Structure 1
Amino acid sequence: MQVIKVFQQNNSGARKIAAVRERAGDDLVLDVINIDDALPMVLDDTEEYLKEAWEMEADLVLDYLKHPDLSYDLCRICSERGIPVVSPTKKWRRPHVFTPPTCCGLPRNDELGAYACSFGAPEVEAAVEDGVVKEIRVIRGAPCGATWEAAQDVLGKPVEEAGVAIGLKVQFYCVADPAGWDPIYGKSPVHFAGHVHQAALEKALRKS
């Protein structure tokens, strides 16, 4: 059993928390820390809000904090304590800190334990019959649940249309901020999510 501490602001991680709990079963235990205070743009001292981070016992931390000062200090604390933390879309560079461009851009890594076996960059298997997609089995998917939702919508699609279709469907279900733009990847987080899902399904279809 993996104990995961989740830090969020004003329910910023609510959908991901719900989806992970639904699909992880008893393998993962999520303990959620909410920070709902109205905060200034700059926080010189985050200690009041991150007291639990210094004392927590956890195998993994998920950072869904919106305030950059809170997020930075949370990742600093986790790094110093040797606790791995997943902080999507952020640019922090520290040991034990993983900053994928989106939640569904997280690669497999042994340091992240059971969480990374089920959630992160999508991995699927597909079955085809008479030129259409008959089955999609999600091995690993987005923690917001978009992979599972989109996979159901693609069933019955012609093989040649399925990759594009799942990419579009994922963008519909995705909870990332579409206004964001990553100059490294040349995509918004939503477009990135669609791209990695399209690539994952097309790979599975080629194998089938």
Structure 2
Amino acid sequence: MVETNLSSFRLVIFEEAGSGEYKIAGIKIYGHNITIERIYDILFDLPEIIDEPEEFIPYDFAGDLILNFLRHPDLSEYLVKICKIKGIPVIASGQNIPGAICPFTCCGLGHRKGLGAYGEQFGLPEYDVEVKDGCIKDLYVRRGASCGATWHVIRRMIGVTVDQALSTIGREIQYLCKADPSAFDPVSGKSPLHFAGKIHAAALKRALSSRF
């Protein structure tokens, strides 16, 4: 367990067999004033139906925000119930659980009150951009995806024309995105990879527009 700095925003993370690995790494690299208080990684071969989820999810955790990367619906729903009792907000990206904050992807999280340093730094991407002679000179991340794709794509944009950057950043993000490509939403017609690409392209477009 990481020692808690009193000024840090405390995260507690639940995952299954490393399901939050890339996002945890991104938070550690790009997050500031955030302490990962505890990571609970459930490694068991889980049954299809879990009648006693308390055998897998402890009650004695504390933090300012819970990140729920659990895949089993019984465990995920039980975790949200516990957090509701404790008064701790839960983000469960890509899930649909009453009582949790459920953006379509980690980079789909909008600005919300109560999410502290995590919500300020991670979610819907926001860039600042420098342009010279019609080409991208530099990109600066103000807010990005916890998986790190918002930062990783920058080197692929430097030196290319503005038009080329706008037309390719979405595709480049899809290559970097760690979301499950098979997780297609039949209701909205969206896939997480395409969604991530579109919102990063929109972020770059906003950054370019704000220069004038």
TM value normalised by structure 1: 0.94
- State the match for 2:44 in structure 1: 37
Within a 5 Å distance, the mapping from 1:12-23 to structure 2 comes to 12-23=19-30
Greater share of helix: 1
Task: Classify the secondary structure of the residue corresponding to 2:137.
Answer: strand
What is the identity percentage for the equivalent residue pairs of Structure 1 and Structure 2? 40
Tell me by how many angstroms 1:80 deviates.
2.4
For 1:99 and 1:39, the matched residues in 2 are separated by 23
Alpha-carbon distance, 1:164 to partner: 2.5
AA partner of residue 179 (structure 2)? A
**Could you tell me which of 6, 9, 12 is aligned with 2:13?**
6
Q: Does 2:195 correspond to 1:189?
A: no
1:46-85 counterparts in 2 under 5 A? Answer: 46-51=53-58, 54-85=59-90
Take 2:121 and 2:155, find their aligned partners in 1: how far apart are those partners? Answer: 18
User: Quick one: distance in 2 between partners of 1:69 and 1:161?
Assistant: 45
- Cα offsets for 1:91-112 (capped at 9, x unmatched): 1122xx2100000000111211
Structure 2: which 5+ runs fail to align?
A: 1-7
Q: Is the 8 A contact 1:151 1:166 kept in 2?
A: no
Kindly report structure 1 stretches of 4+ aligned residues shifted beyond 4 Å. none
RMSD of aligned residue pairs (Cα, Å): 1.1
SS of 1:111's equivalent?
A: coil
Worse-matched range after superposition: 115-124 or 72-81: 72-81
Q: Structure 2: how far apart are the matches of 1:207 and 1:112?
A: 26
Alpha-carbon displacement from aligned partner over 1:152-185 (angstroms, at most 9, x marks no partner)? 2111111112123111111111110010112343
* TM superposition score normalised by structure 2: 0.92
Q: Is there any run of 5+ residues in structure 1 with no aligned partner, and where?
A: none
Aligned length: 203
